[in-house]
Amino acid sequence: MNTLQIFKDTCIDNILDKIEEIIEEQIRFIILRFDSKLVDAERKKIIETIKKYFDIFVILKTDVPPCKKRIEEYLSYGIHGIFFNETPSKYTEEQIDTMTFAAEIFPYNLVLAGVDDKLSIERLLDKKIIPIAPYGNKDLIKFIKNHRKFRTISSGIIKYIPIVEANQCQYTTIDKIKMKMILEAINFRQKLMVKNVEDSFNSSSL
Amino acid sequence: MKSKIYIDRRPLPILFLIEYRKTFLLLISFIVFFTFISSNNIPKSLTVEAYQTLVIFFFAIFLWVTNIIPLAITSLMVMGLLSSFHVLEVNKIYSFFGNKAVFFIIGSFIISAGISSSGLSERIAYYVLSRFGDTPYKLVLSIFFLSALMAHIMPEHAVAALLFPILVSVSKRLNLHSNSVLGKYMFFSLAWGSVIGGVVTFLGGARNPLAVGIMFEATGQNIGFMEWIVAIAPPVYLIMGIVALYIKRKVSASTKDTRLIENMITDNRKRMGKITFKEIKATFILIVTIYMWIFHSERFGIANIALLSAALFFVLNIMGWEDARKVIDWGPIFMYGGAIALGRSLVETGLLEFISEQYISNIDFTILSFICSIFVISLFLTEGVSNAAVIVILLPVVLQIASNFDYAPKLAVYLVAVPAGLAFMFPMSSPPNAIAFSSGYIKPSEAIKIGLIFKVISIIVFTVFALIYWPLIGVY
């Protein structure tokens, strides 16, 4: 998995160099994990810079936060998707509730969550969350791939973000154009949905 | 500070429409505009040029009212449209930027910048607050009168912007909560003082010289600097007195010990040091300029005096070009050029005469109904529309009505320009209100309620003065 751990002192040039290497390997998504010392503004700036230079799906890897407000803040970073990576992958009702909220506000089929058993897979797919099995667990991967709900939820996008399996594919020009369109649509959706409280007061002239 | 965001979960098509509403409105307005302007269905008694002016006028009103694009850009576009459709001669349209009102405004912006950058206005503010702010009601009244008097010589928004940070420090020092009565009336005083004080002279709001400029273009008549003050100051000072009494009554109950701020103000005053030579020079220029405006404006012209005074700030090294460049607001200047051109087109193409013959001549306007109706329309229109836009929209028509009923054009100017400045109710109505609202102490509902009362008081006071006082001084 193309997870990039970003620390407080990670230089933006290093991040961009790493992404460039990833793109050269025909991969079109990147999973970012931020160190807790990075504040929201810094995270947002890093994501803006990545999006400025690359047409690539940016996915945030994080634990399930204790409150839903945090999910809204994650969306405001400008990320395209979110990957909840709890270990062990036994989710409580509250966590499922929070992830369901994420699935409601994030683009369709871009909320992912780690799993290590079939029951969790069923629960997540019911909530339109894409389950991610550990690499090497062929049994679970096969179960996910053959699941009817998975095929419905992930249709279209999984070609660009093949995170269920590590294998990559070659992208044609048409694929690249389609991907660009999907990315721009997601960015536009975010622009419409993410609002600043102050801006709202200003626009209502209060 | 952490930015507060939220996710708008309404359906995306709705969010799309909200986000791009201005674009849609603009697109629709352009389509409607081009449909009407290219129509051959023109009333017989109307010339093609008059019809085109009418369409452009309504298009401009729509854009000024909705504020889809900046007011100044609408004005420039109006000039382009008038020129493209050959409503008036091209050179003539652009020559309206040569109106003396425009140059008076440029000069007054530079004078205001000079006073600010010399430090004089800040020193006056600290002096007044430290000298008179030892009890809550004295503090609030000193803010009110200070802003009102400063708005006599500086644009009202500049006064509010100058005093706002000082008042924020005062409210922090007094540890005022967001529902504090003292906090609320401190910022109300700032807004009301700036707004009311700004209508007394040509310097408080550029809309006043704009109104005089439009009248000059339409009728050839003029209003002098002192003439304006003599007509407007008495009713405005009476309104100021009533507002001051209201503020005093409201704040008298406050038990806050405002002596706490004395040290802070004194410290800030000390930090400013002794009076500088720059401040002395700025005071000298200001006194000479006001003297010239009052006693020699007939001979030299107020615009010329303003420009010479502005130049003196540079000659005497009080400010540099960079200081001036930062504060000259080109928006109103562009707006006024276009507005004057549009006003002139309404007259020259015969459109106003047509409207007057068709729709207005049948109305029986007594002097009382004329005064009340025009004053009320302008007074309430200004709450939703930029106060300069109110003048541009109303004044040409009101001048024509006044001419039909043989009322003096000066009366029309006073009845439109003065209430256009008296915006008490909403934050978007005028910049001082917006600045005061940003403090967080003022609730919109209270501002609307009290603002409405002040508006009614203004109507009564001005109607009485217009009927009794203005004839005595020869306004009509």
Buried b / exposed e over A162-172, threshold 16 CB at 10 Å, is bbbeeeeeebe
pLDDT tops 70 at residue B46:
yes
Helices B12-19 + B21-37 axis angle, to 10: 60
Name the pLDDT band for B455 (thresholds 50, 70, 90).
very high
pLDDT tops 80 at residue B279:
yes
Chain A neighbors of B428, CB-CB under 8 A: 205
pLDDT tops 60 at residue A203:
no
How far is CA B143 from its chain centroid?
Answer: 20
Residue B155 lies in a domain: yes
Distance CA A175, CA A99 (A): 29
Name the pLDDT band for B354 (thresholds 50, 70, 90).
confident
pLDDT tops 80 at residue B99:
no
DSSP structure string for B292-356: HHHHHHHHH-HHHHHHHHHHHHHHTTS--HHHHHHH--HHHHHHHHHHHHHHHHHHHTTHHHHHI
Q: In this predicted structure, what is the pLDDT of residue A198? A: 60
Contact of A73 with chain B, judged by CB distance below 8 Å, is answered with: yes
- B41, two tokens: 């269905």
Chain A neighbors of B437, CB-CB under 8 A: 206
Whether the Cβ atoms of residue A47 and residue A78 lie closer than 8 Å to each other: yes
Percent of chain B with pLDDT over 90: 37
Distance CA B318, CA B119 (A): 10
Distance CA B264, CA A195 (A): 38
Beta strands at B5-7 and A29-34: parallel, antiparallel or unpaired = unpaired
Residue A69, C-beta contacts closer than 8 angstroms, at least 6 positions apart:
none
Mean pLDDT of chain A: 85
Q: In this predicted structure, what is the pLDDT of residue A204? A: 39
Contact of A180 with chain B, judged by CB distance below 8 Å, is answered with: no
Question: Which residue has better confidence, B133 or B177?
Answer: B177
**Could A76 and B5 be called an inter-chain contact, meaning their C-beta atoms sit closer than 8 Å?**
yes
Give the best residue of A43, A67, A206 to mutate against chain B (max B CB count within 10 A).
A206
Q: How far is B243 from chain A (nearest CA, A)?
A: 23
Q: What does residue B102 show for φ and ψ, rounded to 5 degrees?
A: -60, -45
Q: Write the single-letter amino acid at B229.
A: I
Contact of A199 with chain B, judged by CB distance below 8 Å, is answered with: no
Give the best residue of A192, A193, A196 to mutate against chain B (max B CB count within 10 A).
A192
Average pLDDT over residues A177-186: 90
Whether the Cβ atoms of residue B253 and residue B128 lie closer than 8 Å to each other: no
- A74, two tokens: 């994650």
Mean pLDDT of chain B: 87
**Could B5 and A206 be called an inter-chain contact, meaning their C-beta atoms sit closer than 8 Å?**
no
Distance CA A75, CA A67 (A): 14
Residue B404 lies in a domain: yes
Q: In this predicted structure, what is the pLDDT of residue B137? A: 85
What structural domains and CATH numbers belong to chain A?
3-203 (3.20.20)
Nearest to A73 among B5, B426, B444 (CB): B5
What residues are paired with A112 via a beta bridge? A83, A130
Contact of A76 with chain B, judged by CB distance below 8 Å, is answered with: yes
Chain B neighbors of A205, CB-CB under 8 A: 426-428
Average pLDDT over residues A83-104: 86
Nearest alpha-carbon partner for B125 in B190, B47, B50, B174: B190
Average pLDDT over residues B95-104: 82
Nearest alpha-carbon partner for B381 in B367, B399, B395: B395
Average pLDDT over residues B160-169: 84
pLDDT tops 90 at residue B5:
no
Nearest to B4 among A192, A196, A205 (CB): A196
- B419, two tokens: 């209430």
Residue B28 lies in a domain: no
Name the pLDDT band for A165 (thresholds 50, 70, 90).
low
pLDDT tops 80 at residue B310:
yes
Q: Write the single-letter amino acid at B128.
A: V
Helices B330-348 + B100-118 axis angle, to 10: 160
- Classify B443 as helix, strand or coil: coil
Long-range pairs for B66-69 at CB < 8 Å and ≥24 separation? Answer: B66/B25, B67/B386, B68/B22, B68/B25, B68/B26, B68/B29, B69/B22, B69/B26
Residue B126 lies in a domain: yes
Q: Is the backbone peptide bond immediately before B332 cis, with ω within 30 degrees of 0? A: no
Distance CA B135, CA B321 (A): 41
**Could B4 and A206 be called an inter-chain contact, meaning their C-beta atoms sit closer than 8 Å?**
no
**Range from A168-172, B135-139, B244-248 that averages highest in pLDDT:** B244-248
Q: Write the single-letter amino acid at B260.
A: L
- Classify A187 as helix, strand or coil: helix
Name the pLDDT band for A116 (thresholds 50, 70, 90).
confident
pLDDT tops 80 at residue B128:
yes
Residue B151 lies in a domain: yes
Residue B384 lies in a domain: yes
Mind spelling out the 3-state secondary structure of B381-418?
Answer: HHHHCCHHHHHHHHHHHHHHHHHHCCCCHHHHHHHHHH
Contact of A192 with chain B, judged by CB distance below 8 Å, is answered with: yes
Q: In this predicted structure, what is the pLDDT of residue A88? A: 60
Write down the residue that tokens 């622009």 correspond to.
Answer: A191
Name the pLDDT band for B56 (thresholds 50, 70, 90).
very high
pLDDT digits (tens, 9 = 90+) for B151-161: 998 888 888 88
Q: In this predicted structure, what is the pLDDT of residue A199? A: 62
What residues are paired with B7 via a beta bridge? A194
Average pLDDT over residues B41-65: 88
Please enumerate residues of B whose Cβ is less than 8 A from a Cβ of A.
2-9, 12, 15-16, 19, 426-428, 437, 444
Name the pLDDT band for B245 (thresholds 50, 70, 90).
very high
pLDDT tops 70 at residue B233:
yes
Average pLDDT over residues B85-96: 87
Write down the residue that tokens 């459709």 correspond to.
Answer: B85
Q: In this predicted structure, what is the pLDDT of residue B1? A: 41
Q: In this predicted structure, what is the pLDDT of residue A151? A: 82
Number of folded domains that form chain B: 1
Residue of chain B with shortest Cα separation from A44: B3
Contact of A119 with chain B, judged by CB distance below 8 Å, is answered with: no
Distance CA B169, CA B285 (A): 31
Average pLDDT over residues A150-176: 72
pLDDT digits (tens, 9 = 90+) for A3-60: 889 998 889 999 999 999 888 877 788 999 999 899 999 999 999 999 999 989 999 9
Q: Write the single-letter amino acid at A91.
A: Y
Nearest alpha-carbon partner for A62 in A119, A40, B3, A107: A40
Q: Write the single-letter amino acid at A99.
A: M
Distance CA B312, CA B51 (A): 47
Q: Print the domain residue range for B224.
A: 97-472
Interface of A with B in 2-61 (CB under 8 A): 40-41
